Amino acid sequence: MSRKRFRDYGFAVGKLPTGKHNSITDVPGVTVGHVTLHTDTQDSSVRTGVTAILPHGGNVFREKVAAASYVINGFGKTTGLVQVNELGTVESPIMLTNTFSVPAVTEGALQYMMDVDAGIGEQAGSINIVTGECNDRLLNDMRGLHVRPKHAVEAIRQAAGDRPVAEGAVGAGTGMVCFGCKGGIGSSSRRITISGKDCHIGVLVLTNFGRAEDLTILGQPVGAHLRDKAMERGRGNNDGSIIIVLGTDVPMDARQLRRVAKRAGIGLARTGSIAHHGSGDIVIAFSNGNRFQHEPEVDLVSSTILREDGPLMSECFRAAADATEEAIYNSLFMAESTRGHNGSEVQALSVEIVLPFLNNMQGKQ
């Protein structure tokens, strides 16, 4: 059975409309690029990669975007989030990879930005690179350090927008395991009308978390059903991790973005996660609806932000939760069975069993 996105089977999460592509790239200016490493040698199997999310098409260092992060559970290894939360901006591509490749990917993104802007490291000062990770050691020879800085540069250069994001076992998601099934990259978006203008909240996830029996889809105990069918499950890390990148063109400041980022955790919980002890569950949120010059020419700057005491803020909360939930489903529905390091194998989600179960459960409601 060919892999399709969750919504292609006639299911939907929530009532808000999606963007054109139901992807984070529905946010104007946002682009995503992947580099996938899927090779075998006599000594190792490489199942890993890099994913780059660019907040807009310009020089993000010179024209920063409002940003915040929210840590649901902090068993993770990231770069750059301390400064993001201190200053409330992102000034680099947001990079995703495996745990041991954070230094190489950070170096690659740094090299790319220095090539773009000769002032970085000189008169313009330093730059804060944001990199997140999940552990793909089951399927990938992570000790081999196969991701190099050049792969980060390539992922950034490959970034494209106004099209659906490639999902499943691609980029940083190549070797990831989710709820005992093959996981990886997933994305979704929601459209909100503000003052007569369509705005978007988009989510991209890197999924590598969850116990097989806990998988829940649209409130139904899918994982327990699969277990009852005695299906072979993946031997992944039951704790695992997830990185959630939330982008929007809704004008928000860092404090508001942090509030929205928290609601991504609601979407995560709906899928069956309890943010286990060893899970790194981290949300990185940005708005390219508010941009800040690196060297403003005035001492006082102003920006427009969303009204907070009206219904629109709650709609943004809903959009974040719903898009996160559906992005996780897409990462599962789109990922293919993968063989990897030391003879390991992780099966794709058994759509042929899940779909009849979901349809039957919906028919009973």
Mind telling me the catalytic residues? 241, 279, 281
The answer to whether the Cα torsion of 138, 141, 146, 149 is positive or negative is positive
H or E element that contains 114? helix 102-116
- φ, ψ dihedrals at 200, nearest 5°: -135, 145
The CA-based angle 21-327-156, given to 5 degrees, is 70
For residue 285, the cross-strand partners are: 68, 246
- Integer Cα distance of 61 and 323 in angstroms: 28
User: Tokens 């020089």 appear where?
Assistant: 59
DSSP state for residue 180 in the 8-state scheme? T
- Which tokens in the block code for residue 242? 């997830």
- Residue 15's Cβ-count burial label (10 Å; 0-12, 13-18, 19+) is exposed
Q: Decide the pairing of beta strands 130-134 and 94-98.
A: parallel
- φ, ψ dihedrals at 255, nearest 5°: -65, -45
User: Tokens 């599962």 appear where?
Assistant: 332
Coil/strand/helix, residue 196: coil
